Amino acid sequence: MLFGAVASLYFVINAGRNNNSILLRAMFVIWTLSPFVAFLFADTISRRWPFLITLTLYWLMLAVTLGSLVCYSGAFNISKTKPAFIFLIVPLISWLLMIIVILVAQRFLRRDK
């Protein structure tokens, strides 16, 4: 996950190298790194969670990290799309996936009890 965060940081800085606004670049960096920070926080509190939810969290970390790097690298470059769009939508999708998967895992765990 640390490698994914550092690589994402590289991609966002590289994509915004021609932008003169320091504030805008800082906001993109914070937004791009926010899912990784959330995963780090979730990892620290997941020690109290049941094993199934923790395992689900780890698989989600891997999937989001790999998916983010693939998207940021330009492998899925959609024509007529500005590079900033990728750095806005990928963290949003990561947050949504994180919330949905953890809630669904908790729901299934409660149902099994």
Pairwise CA distance, residues 28 & 83, whole Å = 12
Instruction: Please enumerate in sequence order all residues whose Cβ is within 8 A of that of 43, keeping only pairs 6 or more positions apart, or say none.
Output: 57, 61
pLDDT at 59 over 90: yes
pTM of the full structure:
0.86
pLDDT computed for residue 83 by the predictor? 79
**By three-state DSSP, how is residue 17 classified?**
coil
pLDDT computed for residue 75 by the predictor? 79
pLDDT computed for residue 113 by the predictor? 58
pLDDT computed for residue 3 by the predictor? 92
Q: Domain containing 34: what range?
A: 2-112
Pairwise CA distance, residues 99 & 9, whole Å = 23
Pairwise CA distance, residues 39 & 64, whole Å = 10
Domain count, the chain: 1
pLDDT computed for residue 31 by the predictor? 96
